[in-house]
């Protein structure tokens, strides 16, 4: 497929262009993944996502260098690696060694308090950069419906709770005011509604792609190529480029299916990868095709584009955005939401084996994995747990992990 290369090249060129804009005085934002990116996009404030930058650093095989220094600096060893790696790289300050020359100082910061560590990580960013910090609350949902995706697209007021949505809207308004000051532009509610409709169009296209792949007898696109085709447009969601890319991605998948092109002609076992990407070793996702006909067909990024993002407007676009953001991470990591969603997706995609990344230091994503494991096992899906990390390869032993997975694949193949 050509789409993954196109998306990666676009993101690389975008960041290079961003550095040029910043040199000329344009502000940019540094934000967590579960924040209202839409406000920054709409107000034309370029944005770098913490977890995306962490993945880039890890993919360049630089994470061990920074994590070794993290402990030398006196940070405790249990910081969540995914969210802290960019901060450590910024503190070390060897920008010439970092991808694309490293990050300049941001002008504005934003994070949700969706784990104990995130507020403090971003407070350190603020201390380091002098940037204005916006921290958004993350109160629990009193009565979380296990099948949250059924209500989330339209009946989200009752699902997430009016008080929680009131709070999120109230906290977004000072952020909007800051973006107005930063850009010298007024926030246009009607224009924002049009922009949000474009995002819904993008997510529905990705929903179509997920259906195409899930229904295929043999997987036409593995997750290593799905991820850049989904994640990079999501970082730019609603833009002309993002919509054009997703349309092209859908067309390319349709063409592959029509031509009978598949990842593994001998596909016998379909797998799902649970957790963030294994950014330092994405070739792992193709390790079992030749030996076992086992294909990684599913990761969270493609199906979550629809279930996690599509929210009906109901005449209040800012509130619809609050519904999108107010439980984004929780739906991917906390029971009962994550386990029920994974079971639904495993059935939809006809999954035989789930390989679950359990990051020891990201407690928020790590501990919910146990509930997901038991729910999947109860649904007759074999589960392989890998206790490692998405960006820190220091405890990664690929030979041992491959043997662990192969043992389960052998059992499935013998049935």
Tell me the two tokens of residue 220. 């036409």
Confidence (pLDDT) at 364:
54
Confidence (pLDDT) at 291:
96
Pairwise CA distance, residues 46 & 40, whole Å: 7
Q: Which of 118, 140, 109, 149 is nearest to 309 (CA)?
A: 149
Contacts of 178 (CB under 8 A, 6+ apart): 108, 132, 134
Phi and psi at residue 101, in whole multiples of 5°? 85, 10
Pairwise CA distance, residues 226 & 212, whole Å: 13
Other C-beta atoms within 10 Å of 23: how many?
Answer: 9
State how many domains the chain has: 1
Pairwise CA distance, residues 70 & 194, whole Å: 44
Which residues of the chain are under the pLDDT cut of 70? 363-367
Tell me the two tokens of residue 114. 């969706």
For residue 36, give its domain range.
Answer: 3-414
Counts of helices then strands in the chain (DSSP H, E):
19, 8
- Each as own residue / partner, the long-range contacts of residues 207-212 (CB below 8 Å, 24 or more positions apart, any chain) are 207/303, 207/305, 207/306, 207/310, 208/250, 209/246, 209/249, 209/250, 209/253, 209/302, 210/302, 210/303, 210/305, 210/306, 212/250, 212/253, 212/254, 212/257
Pairwise CA distance, residues 27 & 350, whole Å: 46
Start-end of H helices in 24-62: 37-42, 50-59
Tell me the two tokens of residue 166. 């009131």
Pairwise CA distance, residues 297 & 345, whole Å: 11
Q: Which of 391, 395, 396, 393 is nearest to 87 (CA)?
A: 391
Confidence (pLDDT) at 20:
85
Task: Assess contact for 81 and 64: CB atoms under 8 A.
Answer: no
Q: Which of 203, 199, 205 is nearest to 37 (CA)?
A: 199
Only one residue has tokens 């107005």, namely 180
**Cis geometry, peptide bond prior to residue 336 (ω within 30 degrees of 0):** yes
Instruction: Identify the three-state secondary structure at position 23.
Output: helix
Instruction: Identify the three-state secondary structure at position 183.
Output: helix
Confidence (pLDDT) at 366:
59
CA separation, residue 221 to residues 114, 238, 253, 256, 409 (Å):
32, 24, 7, 8, 20
404, HSE (Cβ side, Cα atoms, 13 Å): 17
Q: Which of 223, 341, 243 is nearest to 286 (CA)?
A: 223
DSSP state of 352: S
Other C-beta atoms within 10 Å of 151: how many?
Answer: 14
Pairwise CA distance, residues 63 & 102, whole Å: 14
Tell me the two tokens of residue 176. 């909007």
- Which string of b and e fits 307-333 if b means at least 16 CB within 10 Å? bbbbbeeeeebbbbbbbbbbbbbbbbb
Confidence (pLDDT) at 365:
60
């Amino acid at each position: 497929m050509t789409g993954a290369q196109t998306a990666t090249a676009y993101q690389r060129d975008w960041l290079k262009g961003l550095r040029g804009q910043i040199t000329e005085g344009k502000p940019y934002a540094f934000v967590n993944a579960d924040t209202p990116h839409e406000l920054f996009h709409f107000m034309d404030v370029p944005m770098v996502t913490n977890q995306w930058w962490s993945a880039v650093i890890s993919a360049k095989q630089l994470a061990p260098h920074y994590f070794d220094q993290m402990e030398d600096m006196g940070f405790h060893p249990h910081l969540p690696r995914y969210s802290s790696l960019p901060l450590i790289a910024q503190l070390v300050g060897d920008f010439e060694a970092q991808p694309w020359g490293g990050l300049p100082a941001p002008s504005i910061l934003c994070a949700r308090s969706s784990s104990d560590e995130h507020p403090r990580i971003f407070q350190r960013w603020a201390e380091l950069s002098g940037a204005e910090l916006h921290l958004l609350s993350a109160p629990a949902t009193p009565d979380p419906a296990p099948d949250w995706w059924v209500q989330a697209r339209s009946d989200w007021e009752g699902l997430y709770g009016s008080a929680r949505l009131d709070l999120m809207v109230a906290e977004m308004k000072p952020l909007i005011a800051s973006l107005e000051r930063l850009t010298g532009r007024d926030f246009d509610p009607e224009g924002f509604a049009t922009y949000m409709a474009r995002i819904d169009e993008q997510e529905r296209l990705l929903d179509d792609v997920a259906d195409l792949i899930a229904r295929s007898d043999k997987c036409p696109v593995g997750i290593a190529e799905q991820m850049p085709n989904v994640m990079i447009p999501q970082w730019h969601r609603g833009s002309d480029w993002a919509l054009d890319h997703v349309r092209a991605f859908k067309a390319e998948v349709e063409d592959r299916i029509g031509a009978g092109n598949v990842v593994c002609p001998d596909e016998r076992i379909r797998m799902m990868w649970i957790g963030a990407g294994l950014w330092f070793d994405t070739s792992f996702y193709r390790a079992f095709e030749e030996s076992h006909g086992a294909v990684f067909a599913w990761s969270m990024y493609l199906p979550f584009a629809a279930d996690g993002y599509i929210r009906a407007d109901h005449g209040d676009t800012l509130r619809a955005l609050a519904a999108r953001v107010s439980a984004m991470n929780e739906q991917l990591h906390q029971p009962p939401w994550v386990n029920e969603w994974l079971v639904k997706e495993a059935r939809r995609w006809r999954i035989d084996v789930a390989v679950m990344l359990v990051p020891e230091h990201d407690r928020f994503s790590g501990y919910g994995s146990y509930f997901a494991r038991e729910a999947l096992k109860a649904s007759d899906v074999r589960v392989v747990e890998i206790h490692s990390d998405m960006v820190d390869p220091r405890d990664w032993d690929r030979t041992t992990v491959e043997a662990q997975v192969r043992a389960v694949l052998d059992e499935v193949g013998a049935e």
